[in-house]
Structure 1
Amino acid sequence: MADARALQARLDQQRHAFAAEPFPSAATRRDRLARLASMTRHHRDEISQAIRQDFGHRAEAETRLAEVVPLLMAIRHTRRHLKRWMAPRRAAVPWRLLPGKARIHRQPLGVVGIIAPSNYPWSLALMPAVDALAAGNRVMIKPSEQTPTTSALLARLVERYFASEELHVATGDADTARDFAALPFDHLLFTGSPRVGREVARAAAANLTPVTLELGGKAPAIVAEDADLAHAARRIAFGKWLNAGRTCIAPDHVLVDAARLPAFIEAIRAVVKEFYPQGTAGDDYSAVPGEASRSRLEHLLDEARDHGCRVIELGERLTLSHGTKLPPTLVVDPTASLSIMQEEVFGPWLPVIGVRDFDAALARVAEGPCPLALYAFTDDPTRRRRLLEQTRSGGMVFNDTLWHYVVPALPFGGIGESGMGAYQGETGFLRFSHQRSVFLQARRNAVGLLDPPWRRWWLRLLGL
């Protein structure tokens, strides 16, 4: 547990360490990343067990697939390209300033704060840390209070592998998170809901702390007329029910040609039975942790039922000691006014909505708030181009879901309601760097010709 004074003292410690080493060498940065990889690789079984305990149940394969592997891939990519990212960049110089030279130097910001969510408590705490450490910063992490076992493990392992002035984990409750957000970091990254994101942004604004916000949203999946329904159903089911739907980039709802809606529903039924042959009782289907999350999701479903929506549950509910296994569930044609269509589902309910045609689906997405991800199933180049040009989203995936997140070279971030700023790969390196402008004047130069007193004919000759 950390109070405001202890957090400030830790920040001061990291600031002093940064002042003593304001530009860590590539070797130092690579070493820190290597330790982060070793910590994750050597303790992956403990990580899986801790998350399983916090969730009530979490499929081990999901933890490895979504928490461990993307982090190790990101570290490997970053270490491979780090030297090139750190190198100064040449900048063009106007002819009037020649033979002067211009460079862009990428400098560390200082101390970066990270506030992590509960749905992926390991990877979403450490993925931004990869970029911040690579950029030469010191890092403080506030993991979610909703995953106390995983947070305690993260704090314990970080203390073993890192000096506190390099990387520190501050555990605690919601009050600790508020105190953390109010610290005068050099940059603050938050992943979570838009409601809490606004509070974090307000707290950071008091210190003029720059923020990156990853806020999720209602990610649509469009199934165009030329799409293979079986393939679309399979990829949407994978993206939706990984981690029981508690993924910020999970398909939130599906827009499909109304004439093909019954066939799509049957395709979803078949793939859910294939993915989870033992239903929710199987080891491969994860639980929704916490009473508050379960209650919120049940309210969304009850409201949809009360308003006449067809609700298709593809399994049984199973109550566990620390969570609930809520089955994959389809909600057919909910109206736009229902809560399930107004807020991010963030659970295993999947609204499926029949639309007139692709143009209607495109218009619906274009008119709505910008999602963190947009998915479209079509092989038509014209449709793909229209989606890219006429819609906005944090990421765009054709004929699949989720996988853009695990491509280390792709930036990950939202736009509008789904957040601001992006990280990962070189984009993340730049996010946590200051691009310092440097101009080197030659000993012999002609800029003195621009000194006063100015004569009009001379200014015209110089094109001024």
Structure 2
Amino acid sequence: MTPSERLQATYKKQYEASRKHAYPSIQERKDNLEKLAQVIDANRDRICDAIDKDFGGRSHNESTLLELVPLMGNIADAKKRLKKWSKPQRRHVGLAFKGASNKLIPQPKGVIGVVTPWNYPLLLALGPVVSAMAAGNRCIVKQAANSQNLCRLLDEIISPVLDETVLAVIPGTSARKFSSMPWDHMVFTGSAATGKVVMEAASKNLTPVTLELGGKSPTIIAPDFDIRTAAERVTFTKFLNAGQTCVAPDYLFVPEGKVEEFVKHAKDIVGSRYDSVNNNDLTAIIDEAAFNRLTATLADAKEKGAECINLLSGDDSNTEGQKIAPHVVVNPTDDMIIMQDEIFGPLFPIKTYKSLDDVVEYINERERPLALYMFSNDKKFQDKVFYSTLSGAVCINDSMFHVAQHDMPFGGVGNSGMGHYHGIEGFIEFSKLRPVFKQSTMTSKIILMLAPPYGPLFKNVTNLMLKLRL
């Protein structure tokens, strides 16, 4: 079969299975999650090899840290909490219905389509799947064109272990075709521009969507926080995966007069982690187009007057290996490309500030970011930033690690996305909380007193209900 034919055939099988067996048991769900965990665990080296090949250079250690560890943790957490998440929720009954009962039962939505980007090809493919399968759904995954080595491998290792009516990863599928199908829910991770196209396609089938879209996540170092400590933490997360992370710190605010100190520490710290741009622990830029975009972004900043500082010794880049050395870009202006679009690379703009009010105003003039980071031990500073801005998430005294918290939802707001997964919120995202009202004999008799023909009794009872606000 062609990828399109296989997609249609698999969707049909999952659709029929979801209608015939709408509520997989808790044990079935746990078993399926465990099968997924076992197949991932048994193929760790092959998975890291495939990701390395797709990137043209990504350390097994980085893939283990960024993809395998959080994914396996997600699965374990979902299995542990699934029984509790699945319990019917009791809800209050109005006084007028004394004796009746209300409850909400989490109902699987059905067939979930998952559209995955290339930057975290394993975690962002199977992370949403874990939440969706825990909720009793069936999933089909479409991976990015730049992740087809991993996609083919996942198809190869998952197909013999999990029935395709439960989970399928299909190589070579068309993004346009995939997003136009009548899913019961669809997850898309990628750019805001593509997210709008996906949402428009989904709307034709009234398909609900979860969008994880990224954006320019600001980072603020407060005057009270130690500059070296901040530099150690923020450069670690910023340059993981060569900055190709949707929640990477995108630009940095440093108190006026402390930029030179930050740069000095950053050069020392980053230089101790990567000896040169050719270091094997430094991830390659995903493809030639992205490499050219980033080098052009850096050149644009230099031409317009920013100070661009290579944090490593030696060359700024390696064209053949498609690697770019971690850079800081000091005093960028808003007309520079680096301050207009999400960077998605190892370039870190640094702006200075005198007043926190100016920082807040700058952030609020722009689209709401997927994450906001601040380094401060001052509660007033923290509260000022938190309650004066809006973002998908906030991380205090570090960055990105909120995503690694299994019992916290991950998601954006506004231009950075909608909906979320992870934890109970992910379980609910892929469930329909189905209301169940059970009438009692006594309440039914009272309610039937309000049936036509309407007369004095009806008027007296409704007046009493209005007075008591039942």
Preserved CA contact (<8 Å) 1:2 1:171 = no
Distance 2:255 2:317 in 1: 34
User: How does 1:446-461 map onto structure 2 within 5 Å?
Assistant: 446-452=446-452, 453-455=454-456, 456-461=459-464
**Corresponding position of 2:216:** 218
Distance 2:164 2:16 in 1: 12
**Corresponding position of 2:70:** 70
**Corresponding position of 1:291:** 288
Q: CA deviation at 1:443?
A: 2.1
2:286 partner amino acid: P
**Corresponding position of 1:163:** 163
Distance 2:267 2:256 in 1: 17
**Corresponding position of 1:357:** 355
Distance 1:59 1:332 in 2: 29
* Match 1:330 to one of 316, 328, 344: 328
Distance 2:463 2:441 in 1: 26
Listed one character per residue, the Cα deviations across residues 270-292 of structure 1 (whole Å, up to 9, x for unaligned) are 1111222x222222211112101
Give ranges in structure 1 of 5+ residues lacking alignment.
none
User: How does 1:266-285 map onto structure 2 within 5 Å?
Assistant: 266-276=264-274, 278-285=275-282
Q: CA deviation at 1:424?
A: 0.7
Q: CA deviation at 1:9?
A: 2.1
Q: CA deviation at 1:12?
A: 0.9
Listed one character per residue, the Cα deviations across residues 426-461 of structure 1 (whole Å, up to 9, x for unaligned) are 010000000111100012222223334143333223
* Match 2:298 to one of 295, 298, 301: 301
* Match 1:231 to one of 225, 229, 249: 229
**Corresponding position of 2:380:** 382
User: Secondary structure at the residue paired with 2:133?
Assistant: helix
Listed one character per residue, the Cα deviations across residues 54-108 of structure 1 (whole Å, up to 9, x for unaligned) are 1111122111111001011111111011011111100001100111100001000
**Corresponding position of 1:61:** 61
Preserved CA contact (<8 Å) 2:3 2:170 = no
Q: CA deviation at 1:205?
A: 1.0
**Corresponding position of 1:256:** 254
User: How does 1:32-47 map onto structure 2 within 5 Å?
Assistant: 32-47=32-47
User: How does 1:47-446 map onto structure 2 within 5 Å?
Assistant: 47-172=47-172, 176-276=174-274, 278-315=275-312, 316-317=315-316, 319=318, 323-445=321-443, 446=446
Q: Number of residue pairs matched?
A: 460
Preserved CA contact (<8 Å) 2:48 2:63 = yes
1:423 partner amino acid: Y
Distance 1:372 1:152 in 2: 30
Distance 2:50 2:296 in 1: 29
| Identical pairs, percent | 38
1:314 partner amino acid: L
Preserved CA contact (<8 Å) 1:212 1:420 = yes
Q: CA deviation at 1:317?
A: 4.4
Preserved CA contact (<8 Å) 1:50 1:150 = yes
Q: CA deviation at 1:147?
A: 1.7
Listed one character per residue, the Cα deviations across residues 307-366 of structure 1 (whole Å, up to 9, x for unaligned) are 111111123345476x41110011111111211111000000110111223222222122
1:151 partner amino acid: C
Give the root-mean-square deviation of aligned CA atoms: 1.4
Preserved CA contact (<8 Å) 1:3 1:179 = no
Per mean C-alpha deviation after superposition, the further-off stretch among 28-37 and 446-455 is: 446-455
Distance 1:37 1:363 in 2: 45
Preserved CA contact (<8 Å) 2:238 2:248 = yes
Distance 1:49 1:15 in 2: 34
User: Secondary structure at the residue paired with 2:15?
Assistant: helix
Per mean C-alpha deviation after superposition, the further-off stretch among 441-450 and 285-294 is: 441-450
Distance 1:204 1:461 in 2: 47
Q: Normalising by structure 1, what TM-score?
A: 0.96
Distance 2:69 2:158 in 1: 18
Q: Closer, same or farther in 2 for the Cα pair 1:407/1:220, shift >3 Å?
A: same
2:219 partner amino acid: A
User: Secondary structure at the residue paired with 1:232?
Assistant: helix
Preserved CA contact (<8 Å) 1:2 1:170 = no
Q: CA deviation at 1:122?
A: 0.6
Distance 2:410 2:466 in 1: 44
Distance 1:299 1:280 in 2: 18
Distance 1:385 1:355 in 2: 18
User: Secondary structure at the residue paired with 1:369?
Assistant: coil
User: Secondary structure at the residue paired with 1:105?
Assistant: strand
User: Secondary structure at the residue paired with 1:279?
Assistant: coil
User: Secondary structure at the residue paired with 2:271?
Assistant: helix
Preserved CA contact (<8 Å) 1:257 1:358 = no
User: Secondary structure at the residue paired with 1:444?
Assistant: helix
User: Secondary structure at the residue paired with 2:329?
Assistant: strand
Q: CA deviation at 1:385?
A: 1.2
Preserved CA contact (<8 Å) 2:3 2:171 = no
Distance 1:134 1:280 in 2: 42
Distance 1:111 1:77 in 2: 23
Distance 2:466 2:302 in 1: 72
1:301 partner amino acid: L
Q: Normalising by structure 2, what TM-score?
A: 0.95
Give ranges in structure 2 of 5+ residues lacking alignment.
none
Q: CA deviation at 1:15?
A: 0.7
